[in-house]
């Protein structure tokens, strides 16, 4: 007598069990002995990325070709957090929003990555002899390490990345309108818009934040940014005349190497490629009050990924209320001190 198929309930239980085994294997120890705290990118009225005058912003790059929008798989139901606690100490405050993320996304897998889990994924994705694996393990600065990991994880697996000091206000399924969801392969939002948020000497009239990113695996923006981040950390070591494990960058160097500055440049280049006639200047996506689809990229309003403070609230009054999460701006990576030589 041949093998009989399992009853449907047992098939479902088997799949759930396999998913749990996979998730548990990826989770690092809850108190990682080699971990340091995570990254929160620059916000308005904090440190400046440049001294370039506001009236001469960097021009947008003109693409040499206009490929079609990315038509790969959709954004998968995966949530990624990265956490490198300072001094190997994990407090309730550090992870107090984890439950909110899990509750906001029924049916999604959730993975919290530390240094060891990140190293394991880099080896699995790119190989234990790869440049990605070697550079990730050499890095000591938590912000550089977190940036490098988020881009590579999303480029390989896709999903929703968020810093651990963010809290969802809406279920993830409600972030993207159902009519747009089949077309969206990348989700991003500005952290700064010169038409809304005042700042002295901005380098870009619109600067994209990367404390929250959603993307499909293999998306060109994620792949390009993963490579850009590798180049950025390598350039820091070269400029300092030292090896990568001895790099001691200041906060601005981190932001310029792997943070919102290169992230903004990569996004702008891609937006211009998929719609070169529409995006002739920054004003085309400035002061958004509703999400706007450009090619396969959903550009969210600036309020979507941040909750304005009391002082900032007047800036946003005329630009809708499309908040999907709030960012609590703990920024503990700024307090990291390099280990003694």
Q: What is the pLDDT of residues 50-100, one digit of tens each?
A: 323 233 333 333 344 445 789 899 999 999 999 988 777 787 788 889 999
pLDDT at residue 264, rounded to an integer: 94
Q: Give the whole-angstrom CA distance, residue 244 versus residue 6.
A: 53
**Contact (Cβ atoms closer than 8 angstroms) between residue 81 and residue 111:** yes
**Contact (Cβ atoms closer than 8 angstroms) between residue 123 and residue 136:** no
Q: What is the pLDDT of residues 253-312, one digit of tens each?
A: 998 999 999 999 999 999 989 988 776 667 788 888 889 999 999 999 988 897 666 666
pLDDT at residue 200, rounded to an integer: 61
Report all structural domains of the chain as residue ranges with CATH numbers, in order of start.
Answer: 27-335 (3.90.550)
What is the phi/psi pair of residue 310, to 5°?
Answer: -60, -40
Q: Identify the band that residue 172 occupies on the pLDDT scale cut at 50, 70 and 90.
A: very high
pLDDT above 90 as % of the chain = 49
CA neighbor of 184 nearest in space, from 221, 209, 156, 149: 221
The answer to whether residue 211 scores a pLDDT higher than 80 is yes
What is the phi/psi pair of residue 149, to 5°?
Answer: -70, -45
- How far out from the chain centre does Cα 105 lie? 18
Residues 6 or more apart in contact with residue 276 via CB below 8 angstroms: 62, 63, 66
**Contact (Cβ atoms closer than 8 angstroms) between residue 112 and residue 90:** no
């Amino acid at each position: 007598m041949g093998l009989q198929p399992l009853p449907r309930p047992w098939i479902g239980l088997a799949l759930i069990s396999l998913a749990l085994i996979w998730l548990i294997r990826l989770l690092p120890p809850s108190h990682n002995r080699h971990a340091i705290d995570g990254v929160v990118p620059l916000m308005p009225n904090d440190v400046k990325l440049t001294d370039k005058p506001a009236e001469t912003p960097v021009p947008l790059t003109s693409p040499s070709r206009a490929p079609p929008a990315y038509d790969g798989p959709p954004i998968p139901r995966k949530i990624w957090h990265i956490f490198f606690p300072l001094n190997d100490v994990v407090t309730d405050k550090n992870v107090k929003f984890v439950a909110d993320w899990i509750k906001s996304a029924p049916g999604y897998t959730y993975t919290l990555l530390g240094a060891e889990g990140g190293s394991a994924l880099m080896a699995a994705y790119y190989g234990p002899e790869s440049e990605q694996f070697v550079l990730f393990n050499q890095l000591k600065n938590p912000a550089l390490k977190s940036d490098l990991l988020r881009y590579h994880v999303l480029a390989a697996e896709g999903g929703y990345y968020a810093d651990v000091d963010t809290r969802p206000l809406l279920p993830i399924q409600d972030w993207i309108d159902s009519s747009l969801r089949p077309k969206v392969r990348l989700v991003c939002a500005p952290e700064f818009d010169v038409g809304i948020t005042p700042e002295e000497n901005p380098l870009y009239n619109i600067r994209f934040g990367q404390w929250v990113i959603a993307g499909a695996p293999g998306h060109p923006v994620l792949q390009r940014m993963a490579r850009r981040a590798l180049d950025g950390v390598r350039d820091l070591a070269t400029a300092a005349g030292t090896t990568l494990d001895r790099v001691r960058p200041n906060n601005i160097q981190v932001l310029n190497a792997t943070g919102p500055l290169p992230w903004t440049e990569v996004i702008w280049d891609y937006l211009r490629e998929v719609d070169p006639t529409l995006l002739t200047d920054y004003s085309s996506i400035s002061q958004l009050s509703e999400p706007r689809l450009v090619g396969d990229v959903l550009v969210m309003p600036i309020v979507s990924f941040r909750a304005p403070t009391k002082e900032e609230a007047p800036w946003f009054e005329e630009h809708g209320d499309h908040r999907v999460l709030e960012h609590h701006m703990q920024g503990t990576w700024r307090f990291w001190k390099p280990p003694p030589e």
